[in-house]
Structure 1
Amino acid sequence: MATISPEIFQEVLSAYAWGEGTLSYNSYGEGHINNTYLVTVNGKTVTRYILQRINTDIFTDPKSLMENICGVTSYLRDLISKRGGDVSRETMSIVPTKTGSSYYTDSTGGAWRVYNFVENTICLQQCRNTEDFYTSARAFGQFQKNLADYDASSLHETIPNFHNTPDRLRKFKEALKADVLHRAADISDDIAFVLDHEADCSYMTDLLAAGKLPLRVTHNDTKLNNILLDADTNDALCIIDLDTVMPGLAANDYGDSIRFGANHSAEDEPDLSKVNFSLELFEAYTKGFLEVAGNALTPLEIETLPWGAKLMTLECGMRFLTDYLEGDHYFAIHRPGQNLDRARTQFKLVRDMEACWSEMNNIVSKYSK
């Protein structure tokens, strides 16, 4: 994204009614997609806001993106209010521009939005213990349960085919055929692993197409760092980063959490002996997720949760390997071969899951009672 000039920043600030007081701002958070700032208004009281410039290189249709976010957060506010919850802390709240719009387009075409800041919260970048992973499962389970009756078909696809595993396979095959950097000859085992799993790629999408699985509102980035925790109690309060909220499968959200959290290694760990799928963490997450969301899911949705874990991991590995073949232009790398290492960690996790497939299914069955 282009550098933001002071003039543009002042233009954006002028588009919002911040209230009386002295305005200050600084960069905020550890996100890599949007430009994020904390805006502080020092008046009779101190009020804080999150200001973001949306990355329109990735989210090319900010209007549709903001329609999704406004629709979902408005629905959540009504639901939380009806059950007597704290609307200011349990969901994100969009602050409109002076003209009432959900976002502002600056004179260079940049798209900006403002959220109320949720005070007295923490955001963890990684699990400190199994309890954190269990807490995250309950949080995303609650998100799924809260939106179970929301019409998912009314949402826009902010990134088309984001979790369309057969389409990811198609793109991998195209990159393999082109082999623009002549890297394929040195990764024959990795290529064979993907092609050997070709039949698996359409398992969930075929069930969806046959009407056997329902379309759900899915978050599509169910990592621990997208949950705000109460700073005093460590209870999960609010799911954030709703840019990828789209129609999808519940098992995808569950599976992406498992892919990310049910192991103790770095995503780019070159020593695969250190990469091991953890049944203990898998069970902790499954327990938390189904305790909250179980009654909102169909029996087949629950039964196919292990498939969500396997396919989200396989899909992510394919994406890393595709990028490696194409020249590392999508996922940023900091050393040669990093995307290849990332792909191999995912494939190792898939192998581990396949080795304990019956145990995974037994765990899901245990907590679906």
Structure 2
Amino acid sequence: MSEAIGFVPQIFQRFVIDGTYHSARPYGSGHINETFLVTAQANGVARHYIFQHLNASIFPDPHPVMRNIQHVTDHLRKKLAHLSSGERDRRVLTLIPTREGGVLVDDPLLGNWRAYRFIEDAQTFDILETPQQAFEAALAFGTFQHLLSDYDGPPLVETTPDFHHTVKRFQAFQAAVNADPLGRACTMAAEIDFALRHEPLAHTLIDLKASGAIPERITHNDTKLNNVLLDAKTGQGLCVLDLDTVMPGLSLYDFGDMVRSACNPVAEDCPDPSRVIARGDVFEALVAGYLKGTAGALRPIEKDHLLLSGQLLSFECGLRFLTDHLSGDTYFRIHRPSQNLDRGRTQFALVASLEAQCNDFLRFIPRS
């Protein structure tokens, strides 16, 4: 277990929280930051919070990230002003202020920390159980994008430059293969060949954006299924999580990443990629939910590339996992040897499955 959990009692004192510290435990399955569910006791009542220890290698300067999150959540709260305060708190993340008046504990010894109010009676899924869950997640992400379509606050910072620049991701993969610092490339001949054959795919959305055919929007950019909270009782999509990468981007990045995370029927790090067969019923639900959530805002050319975006974002993520495996697993946290290799192979298998079922899946997209 990371030593960060030992810092939580000290960090707790730095936030404005009613009550006394009781306990903390690791929470969620994120690859980047360390997340803990923290329990406080106030007048005999347990209250829960989410504490996150930010990954300093990924976010060396977390202040622009936190400003983005503040701007976005403030805008969302204004857009949802018609709801009761209790309902609004279930649909928008609530940052806990620090005793210094900010929203980030920036400590040279303990690291960078933030805290959110925990949303009760809600859950996330790493692997979805029903197409209805896919619909609700897509609806939530589409609505999130729609609510931000009239954002007029301070410009959002590009917190992770070139995050979905697939051409640069491909180039980074090539560089890692050529450098091969740990001698791992010799075990990846099939994956390297697959990547080289799919290089043209990496250029597709980049070129469309450069031509002006696809507009830039404010997007989430990390629309994994487990970044949406669903109501534990009704199954309704409630709240979009993990706002670190909310910045200007393409709607197709968001949709494609949903396809990548939701249409895969097995765990992301499944050691047997032959089990990866993209689910058509889930893809159909994602299309319906996302189009409903974005409320007619997508251009015909964006809808025409919905399926391709799933192939592209799966390919991109596979490149990233394999690049990290070749480079010594320095970005995505691993819990066993070759976990990033298995993650990359699963993503490439999903690309192949989406390609094989292309004609069937295209039937689920309304004609422009």
Superposition TM-score, scaled by structure 2 size: 0.89
Separation in structure 2 between the aligned mates of residue 9 and residue 329 of structure 1, nearest angstrom: 24
Asked if the contact 2:170/2:202 (under 8 Å) is kept, the reply is yes
Amino acid at match of 2:104: Y
The corresponding residue for 1:361 is 362
Structure 1: unaligned runs, 5 residues or longer: none
* Letter matched to residue 12 of structure 2: L
Q: Contact 2:50–2:118 (CA<8 Å) still a contact in 1?
A: yes
Q: Equivalences for 1:274-353 in 2 at 5 Å?
A: 274-353=275-354
Provide Cα deviations, 1:339-360, integer angstroms capped at 9, x if missing partner: 3333222222212222232333
Tell whether 2:27 aligns with 1:29.
Answer: yes
Q: Which residue in 1 is equivalent to 2:40?
A: 40
Contact 2:5 2:36 in 1 (8 A): no
Alpha-carbon shift at residue 165 of structure 1 (Å): 0.4
- AA paired with 1:67? R
Alpha-carbon separation, structure 1, partners of 2:58 and 2:298: 31
Return the alpha-carbon distance in structure 1 between the equivalents of residues 36 and 163 of structure 2: 23
- SS for the counterpart of 1:295 is coil
Match of 1:99 in 2: 100
Q: 1:258 matched to which residue of 2?
A: 259
Scaled by the length of structure 1, the TM-score of the pair is: 0.89
Deviation at 1:267, TM superposition (A): 2.4
In 1, the alpha carbon distance for the partners of 2:300 and 2:108 equals 51
Give the equivalent residue in structure 2 for 1:154.
155
Residue equivalent to 1:59? 59
Q: Is residue 39–residue 51 contact of structure 1 (8 Å, CA) maintained in 2?
A: no
Between 310-319 and 76-85, the greater mean CA deviation after superposition: 76-85
Deviations 1:300-322 (A, max 9, x none): 22222122111101111112222
State the AA in 1 paired with 2:190: D
Q: Distance in 2 between matches of 1:259 and 1:217?
A: 20
Structure 1 residue 99, shift from structure 2 partner: 3.2
Query: Could you tell me how far 1:252 is from its partner in structure 2?
Result: 1.0
**Structure 1 counterpart of 2:169:** 168
Secondary structure of the structure 1 residue equivalent to 2:234: coil
Q: Secondary structure, in 3 states, of the residue corresponding to 1:49?
A: strand
CA RMSD of aligned residues (A): 2.6
Displacement of 1:171 in angstroms is 0.5
Cα separation, 2, equivalents of 1:179 and 1:313: 23
- Cα distance, 1:48–1:35 mapped onto 2, change above 3 Å: closer
> Shift in Å at residue 151 of structure 1?
5.8
Shift of residue 116, structure 1, vs aligned partner: 1.9
Aligned-partner Cα distance in 2 for 1:361–1:129: 21
Distance 2:293 2:38 in 1: 33
Q: How many residues align?
A: 365
Cα distance, 1:287–1:173 mapped onto 2, change above 3 Å? same
Structure 2 vs 1, CA of residues 152 and 201 (structure 1 numbering), >3 Å: closer, same or farther?
farther
2: CA distance, partners of 1:270 / 1:110: 34
**Partner letter of residue 3 of structure 1?**
E
Aligned partners of 2:37 and 2:48 also within 8 Å: no
CA contact (8 A) 1:61 1:158 kept: no
Q: Which amino acid counterpart does residue 314 of structure 1 have in structure 2? A: F
Partner amino acid, structure 1, of 2:219? T
Task: Supply the distance in 2 between the matched residues of 1:61 and 1:231 (Cα, whole angstroms).
Answer: 35
Matches of residues 128-207 of structure 1 in structure 2 within 5 Å? Answer: 128-150=129-151, 154-207=155-208
1:12 equivalenced with 2:11 (yes/no): yes
Runs of 4+ residues deviating >6 angstroms: none
Aligned counterparts of 1:10 and 1:199: Cα–Cα separation in 2: 50
Pick which of 338-347 and 315-324 moved more. 338-347
Deviation at 1:185, TM superposition (A): 4.2
Contact 1:153 1:247 in 2 (8 A): no
Per-residue Cα deviation, 1:97-154 (whole angstroms, up to 9, x for no partner): 2332121223526222222222232333331222212221111121121112226992
How far is 1:9 from its partner?
4.4
Query: Partner residue of 1:111?
Result: 112
What is the 5 A alignment of 1:199-218? 199-218=200-219
Letter in 1 for 2:343: R
In 1, the alpha carbon distance for the partners of 2:166 and 2:275 equals 27
CA contact 2:278–2:354 (8 Å) conserved in 1: yes
Distance in 2, Cα, partners of 1:118 & 1:65? 22
Using a 3 Å threshold, how does the CA distance of structure 1 residues 104 and 324 change in structure 2: closer, same or farther? closer
Amino acid of the residue matched to residue 12 of structure 1?
I
Cα drift, residue 254 of structure 1? 0.9
Aligned partner letter, 2:332: F
**Residues in 1 aligned to 2:51 and 2:339: alpha-carbon distance in whole angstroms:** 32
